[in-house]
Amino acid sequence: MAEKENTKLFSEFAPNSTQEWMDKITTDLKGADFSRKLVWRTNEGFNVQPFYRLENMDELKNLDVYPGDFPYVRGKHKDNNNWFIRQDIVVKDLAEANKKALDILDKGVDSLGFILDRSVEYTKEDLAKLLNGIVLDCVEINFVCGTQLKQVISFLEEIAKDNKVEVSKLYGGVSVNPLGKYTLVGKFDTTEEAEFDSLKELVSSSSNMPLLKVIEVGGVDFNNAGSSIVEELGFSLSAGVEYIEQLLSRGMNIDDIAPRIRFKFGVGSKYFMELAKFRAARYLWANIVKAYSPSNEDACKMNIHAETSEWNKTIYDANVNMLRTQTEAMSAVLGGVDSLVVKPYNSFFKESDDFSERVARNQQILLKEESHLGKVADPAGGSYYVEELTESIIKTAWELFLEVQEKGGYMAALKLGFIQEMVAKTAKDRDLAIARRKENLLGTNIFPNFTEAITEDLNASVLEPMSCKSEDSEIETLSLYRGSQAFEKLRLKTDLYSKDNKRPLVQMFPIGNLTMRKARAQFACNFFACAGFDVEDHNGFTTVEEGVKVCREKQPNIVVVCSSDDEYAEYASEVFENLSKEAIIVVAGAPACAEELKAKGITNFVHVKNNVLEELTRYQQELGI
């Protein structure tokens, strides 16, 4: 049999050039500006194009790098993408915490994070009780503790020896982060010199446990303060260098320091951007460490622990948080993190339960055991979009890192207020974007659950920024908060008001052009439901008189006229004349006749350019809420 000739797939189709694509797009835009319509200007300070092609890859530096090779942009492993599935346990009772640890190890977890009580002085016996039955060299063990770091490390070493486990095989972390604490609290527990002297002792005392990470760089704090991805990465790299410089000045060498550092990043909902962040982070850190001339290139490998961000999580429609954490987990995993905590969807506003912890745990297990994302090294490698994003983040984060270094490094930049001011500005811009619905939080500022109401008492702190600032703080500090808090306070205000009063009713008044009235009624329903108002739509009125009659039967607080721009001059005026003494009259849209309507007394308009938060607050005030 003649051997079949190999032909390329789709070879019968002529290739299209970038210019041909642009010509087609320009035609379809019908005169609209390409850059304004389709190019996305990110919070990170660079533009993202609507499409990328192979020619965009010509100037990228890392396309010939293999997984496992310096600078590790494609991951640290040559033949897999494995990561530790970590679950944190708040230790209140040692026996109960141990029981829970053994249980979740049986359910797929291979990394434990014990959050110890900072007010308790733990003994070796306490830790032995906590770790009873856990095979220490088969599980990643992590401790989050207060001032007992050296003791915990010493006890861990003794317990390992008691269990005939080689201490050199212990892996995990007993992490200390004095820079992170200083950033949030504004002062050190002792003095700056003493803190870094103590850090040197901690690294030295654990030298026979080389796989144990003892220095933590808390990038997650920037994330949860509302920073951009580039700020989280740039400031974290600067903090990492601050640790290196401080320990080098105390006589240590880079080979002893760099492998003991772990970066703790948050991961948010910008799916591809977050994925690219982790690739960029490894590249930048590898080159930074290489500049210190380590004897072994392995010292250049960045260890990344990630946890799902709290910044974008919501109390209302909280089940949506599970969708958020799922895409976040995928970003982290595909980006090649070493370990990951998926926070339970309800953990930030109440104590998590068995169900929410099980869901969070299984989200990772599904990615590893059913989607097999741990088996393929750098799954995103070669994607034009991801490679371009990675390069853009590398360039922009490096520029920010250099700017911090020019100010004298992380500590100097903090004392100047540079870092805090930059994060605060970004957070303010993001808050405005949420208020104007340029950045969406599903179920909170867009498409809310109309029937949901919170009736139980909430801890007030859940709705306020969290400040750890000390009374004698030396600097301005970062405050941690959630982007949804302002909308949640707004809606909760309505819920509390409605316990003793009739919940405000917003009645749609659709009339005229079928397409326009339906679209605008749907928009207005979602707009007012964000404040917890009852909304009632209607299929449409044939006459103003018919609609007025229905409104007088329903007795709404707000009536929203929904029609086309051409018909508003007639319909809106009639509705206002009939109902303005009984309800607030609103026009859905920003019609050309708006000034004419305002002259007649109609001053309320809802449309896509509104600051939704401000408008809804004003309506609450008008209704006496």
Tell me, what's the pLDDT at 175? 84
Is the per-residue pLDDT at 1 higher than 50?
no
pLDDT beyond 50 at 265? yes
DSSP labels, 44-76 = TSSEE-S---GGGGTT-S-TTPPTTSTT-TT-S
Query: What pLDDT score does 7 carry?
Result: 66
The pLDDT of residue 164 is 94
Residues 6+ apart with CB under 8 A from 360: 87, 325, 342, 343, 344, 345, 352
- Tens of pLDDT, residues 363-376: 999 999 999 999 99
How high is the pLDDT of residue 5? 61
Q: What pLDDT score was predicted for residue 478?
A: 96
Per the listing, tokens 């530096």 go with 61
Task: Specify the pairing of strand 84-90 against strand 505-510.
Answer: unpaired
- Beta-strand pair 303-308/261-267: parallel
Indicate whether 70 pLDDT > 50: yes
Query: pLDDT for 23-39, tens place per residue?
Result: 888 889 888 888 888 99
More confident residue, 14 or 420: 420
Asked if pLDDT for residue 3 goes beyond 80, the answer is no
| Percent of all residues in the chain with a pLDDT value above 70, rounded to a whole number | 99
Strand partners, 446: 442
Closest CA to 140 of 168, 118, 109: 109
Which pLDDT does position 459 carry in this prediction? Answer: 83
Of 294, 249, 284, 247, nearest in space to 263 by CA = 284
Question: How much is the CA Rg of the chain, to the nearest whole Å?
Answer: 28
For helices 271-290 and 384-406, the axis angle rounded to 10 degrees is 50
Tokens of 159: 């317990």
For the whole model, what pTM was predicted?
0.94
CB 606 within 8 A of CB 588: yes
Can you give the three-state secondary structure of 218-260, one letter per residue? CHHHHHCCCCCHHHHHHHHHHHHHHHHHHHHCCCCCHHHHHHH
pLDDT at 522: 97
448 three-state secondary structure: coil
**Mean pLDDT of all residues in 331-357:** 96
Q: Residue 10 pLDDT more than 80? A: no
- Say which range, 13-22, 473-482, 535-544, has the weakest mean pLDDT: 13-22
Report strand pairing: 47-48 vs 40-41: antiparallel
Residue pair 209/23 in contact (Cβ under 8 Å)? The answer is no
Report residue 85 as tokens: 């599935």
Tell whether the model's pLDDT for residue 504 goes beyond 90: yes
Grade residue 389 by pLDDT with cuts at 50, 70 and 90. Answer: very high
The tens digit of pLDDT for each residue in 432-471 reads 999 999 999 999 999 999 999 987 778 888 999 999 999 9
| Per-residue pLDDT band at 613 (split at 50, 70, 90) | very high
Q: Supply 253's token pair.
A: 């060498």
The pLDDT of residue 620 is: 97
The two three-digit tokens of residue 269, written as one number: 């909902």
**pLDDT at position 570 over 80:** yes
Give me the domains of the chain, ranges plus CATH numbers: 84-376+384-415 (3.20.20.240), 502-622 (3.40.50.280)
Q: Is there a contact between 76 and 64 (Cβ–Cβ < 8 Å)?
A: no
| C-beta separation of 34 from 239 below 8 A | no
Judge contact between 454 and 469, C-beta under 8 A.
no
For residue 394, give Cα distances in angstroms to 188, 360, 511. 32, 31, 53
Strand-strand pairing, 604-606 and 584-588: parallel
Rounded distance between C-alpha atoms, residue 285 and residue 281, angstroms: 6
147 or 517, which is more confident: 517
What is the C-alpha to C-alpha distance for residues 112 and 115, in angstroms, rounded to an integer? 10
Residue-wise pLDDT for 244-261, tens only, equals: 999 999 999 999 999 999
What pLDDT score was predicted for residue 474?
95
How far apart CA 127 and CA 89 sit, in angstroms, is: 14
Burial class (CB in 10 A: 0-12, 13-18, 19+), 340: buried
Q: What is the mean pLDDT of the chain?
A: 94
Query: C-alpha angle with apex 364: 222 to 117, nearest 5 degrees?
Result: 55
Please give the pLDDT value at position 146: 75
Mean pLDDT score, 408-416: 97
pLDDT digits (tens, 9 = 90+) for 590-609: 999 999 999 999 999 999 99
Structure tokens belonging to residue 1 = 């049999």
- At residue 232, what is the residue type? E
Cα separation, 605 vs 609, whole angstroms = 10
User: Which parts of 336-417 fold into alpha helices (H)?
Assistant: 354-365, 384-406, 410-416
Percent of the chain whose predicted confidence (pLDDT) is above 90: 86
Residue at token pair 């974007």:
433
